[in-house]
Structure 1
Amino acid sequence: MNRSASTPYEAASAKRRRTVVTPEGIALPFIVGARSARAGALIIDYLIITMTVVAVSLLLGWTFSGLIDRVGDAENLGGAAEFIFIAYIIFLFLARYGYFLAFEMGPRGATPGKRLVGLRVAARDGGRLTAEAVIARNLLRDIEIFLPLVFVLTAPSGEGGPAGIAAMLWFLVFMLFAVFNRDAMRAGDLVAGTWVVEAPRKTLAAALSTEGAARLGSSDITGVEYKFGEGELAVYGEYELQTLERVLRDDKPEAIAAVAETICRKIGWHPGVGDERAFLEAFYAQLRARLEGGMRFGKRKADKFS
């Protein structure tokens, strides 16, 4: 394979490639999401939110009108009108804040918009994406988007005077923060210790999962039979499976050796030196089979912590 040749996408993604060392000492490669992709994801998400708000507003409006027609006067609705109003306020709050929190706290770490453009939120230290980090990055969204837009829209009318213009410029710093740093991080990402990266592919090529010990059942180099028990496979989940897939795809000897050593230490194996890739291929194939089997029965293991 000619590694000097590359597509425009590969050349662009190479500039956004980063490597972080996880808390377990594993060198983990990431590709930072492009700013254009992040903007596209945000537009898709807000379109989804807007359409949902419009649909629910029409539904509640139709319900309210039906109640008025039934009782003849809005003043006679009493508690029903208050209930509809309170439910609508709660819905608007959840639409504005809950949408991003709910999806980014999920096992995929991505909203529908991010998933459509192939992005996800990840911890910058390579560890688990925590609920605290997701909450922190999303609470700053008002400062980064809504407040700058308010000041931009009101500044031309002269409202607020010089103080309003100064505030507009200050909030524009937050809005444009992602443009002026190499990792395209929002201010919320900086505070929360997160970044938005390209989501890894979820399947391996057939050749990758049938090579070496995964196909033969034992190693030609060490003679070790790579058959893992339920307890040994149960220590990892989907996140670790995706990480292992990236390591096998990148095929960097130092990364393969480090990951093999970490897994062996975790599950108590000593397969010998020189056959790390065969060990990882076998572990990957059997872990994937276990996780896919669990998914067929509605059981999912997002990561080693779940």
Structure 2
Amino acid sequence: MSARPQEFDAKRRRQVVTPEGVPLQVVLATRGSRLMALILDYTIINVTLLVLALVLLLIGVNLGRMDSLETGGGEFLVVLFFIGLFLLFNGYFIFFEMGPRGATPGKRMVGVRVAARPQGNAGERLTAEAIIARNLIRQIEIFLPISFFQMAGDGGTGSAWIAGSLWFAVFMLFPFLNRDALRAGDVIAGTWVVEAPRRKLDDALSLKGTEVQDAAPAYRFGPEELTVYGEYELQSLERVLRSDDEKTIAAVHQAIVRKIGWQAGSGDERAFLEAFYTALRAKLEGDMRFGQRKADKFAEVEHGGPPLR
């Protein structure tokens, strides 16, 4: 009986290859966890919308303009409400998934995130275009059938109700019809949702990195070594260290050493990577304090952006 969870976990495990040619293991999120994340996100959206409506209502009552036809104050507050409605339902997912975590608050609570689906076996970087595409499709998946239900009225019968029900059923069942649990938006955007459990890694790495640098002065990196990588590579390195797979760690060690032009021996790969992770993270966070951001090794330094988390 104890082997059953491991068996299902193995079915959701996939291997992707980073741009450096290093294989990484990822575990696809379950359909249940994705549904729970969606429920949590829409709960947050609706609570925020309710708070916005109450605030605007209180403002209108206090100003005494809710029923004023001369000043148009009531109409202005209604316009603000619909602007907030549009931004919440359309911008919420896009805003959070474009962040460095690639996850909305609901996804973070459940422990999953959005990632770029590899083309063939090669890994890809999650782009803004993919995030926008996967979330715009949600309008077709969810809100279009709702409009059919509204057209049907309270009776719950008729062609509009049948069309809405069939439309909704097709898109809701779509993740069950493919092995990667992809919804239609994932198929079009080239994304999938993977597990990203929260772990207390940062403090441990910072501590170990400090010990490694104190014990081995050779593991000190200058700006020329650290500027070759960005946030995407930092996140990939973090996943490698979390996986604790010796073969992957050795392959990543070789790729980084080759990239930065070092001549490092074998046997101390994890200590090297922990030191490099700590130094790279400190540099990227320091740059962001001055408004500079580097998305990945291919990108130029951009100005602005939130600090790394």
TM-score, length-scaled by structure 2: 0.78
| Alpha-carbon distance in 2 for matches of 1:210, 1:65 | 58
Look up the match of 1:47.
43
Range with greater deviation from structure 2 (99-108 or 265-274): 265-274
For the Cα contact (< 8 Å) 1:17–1:29, is it kept in 2? yes
State the distance in 2 between where 1:29 and 1:302 align: 25
In 2, the alpha carbon distance for the partners of 1:210 and 1:47 equals 40
Equivalent pair of 1:143/1:171 in contact (CA under 8 Å)? no
CA-to-aligned-CA distance 1:112-144 (integer Å, 9 cap, x gap): 111111111111123322110110000011222
Q: 1:32 aligns to what? A: 28
Aligned residue number for residue 228 of structure 1: 221
2:182 alignment partner in structure 1: 185
CA deviations 1:3-39 (Å, max 9, x no partner) are xxx7876554333221111233221221111221111
Deviation by residue 1:187-243 (Cα, 9 ceiling, x = unmatched) = 10111011111125361584893699556316xxxxxx2221123123334443332
Alignment of 1:175 with 2:169, yes or no, is no
The percentage of counterpart residues that share the same residue type is 54
Measured in 1, the distance between the counterparts of 2:202 and 2:258 equals: 25
1:95 to partner: Cα distance: 1.1
Query: In the alignment, is residue 20 of structure 1 matched against residue 16 of structure 2?
Result: yes
> 2:77 maps to which residue?
84
Give the 3 Å change call, closer, same or farther, for CA 294–54 of structure 1 in structure 2: same
Number of aligned residues: 290
With over 3 angstroms needed to count, the CA separation of the structure-2 counterparts of 1:54 and 1:206, relative to structure 1, is closer
CA RMSD of aligned residues (A): 3.4
Query: 1-side partners of 2:245 and 2:99: how far apart?
Result: 30
Deviates more, 1:284-293 or 1:82-91: 284-293
Please name the residue that 2:140 is paired with.
Answer: 143
Residue 175 (structure 1) shift: 1.9
Which residue does 1:209 correspond to in 2?
Answer: 208
- Give the secondary structure class of the aligned counterpart of 1:88: helix
Q: Does 1:160 align with 2:154?
A: no
2-structure distance, mates of 1:282, 1:112: 30
> Are 1:74 and 2:73 counterparts?
no
Contact 1:209 1:284 in 2 (8 A): no
CA separation of 1:8/1:149 partners in 2, compared to 1, >3 Å: closer, same or farther? farther
Matched-pair contact (CA < 8 Å) for 2:146–2:164: no
Is 1:62 the counterpart of 2:61? The answer is no
Q: In the alignment, is the contact (CA less than 8 A) between 2:65 and 2:74 conserved in 1?
A: no
Structure 1, unpaired ranges of 5+: 1-5, 219-224
Q: How does 1:236-247 map to 2 (within 5 A)?
A: 236-247=229-240
Residue 122 of structure 1 contacts residue 129 of structure 1 at CA under 8 Å; is this kept in 2? yes
Cα deviation, 1:137-158, whole Å, max 9, x if unaligned, reads 0001122222334546849733
Instruction: State the structure with more CA Rg.
Output: 1
Worse-superposed segment, 42-51 or 53-62: 53-62
Question: SS where residue 74 of structure 1 aligns?
Answer: coil
- Counterpart pick for 2:258 among 265, 269, 293: 265
CA distance in 2, matches of 1:249, 1:99: 29
Shift of 1:48: 1.0
Are residues 1:195 and 2:192 paired? yes
| Alpha-carbon distance in 1 for matches of 2:196, 2:169 | 29
**8 Å CA contact 1:212, 1:278 repeated in 2:** no
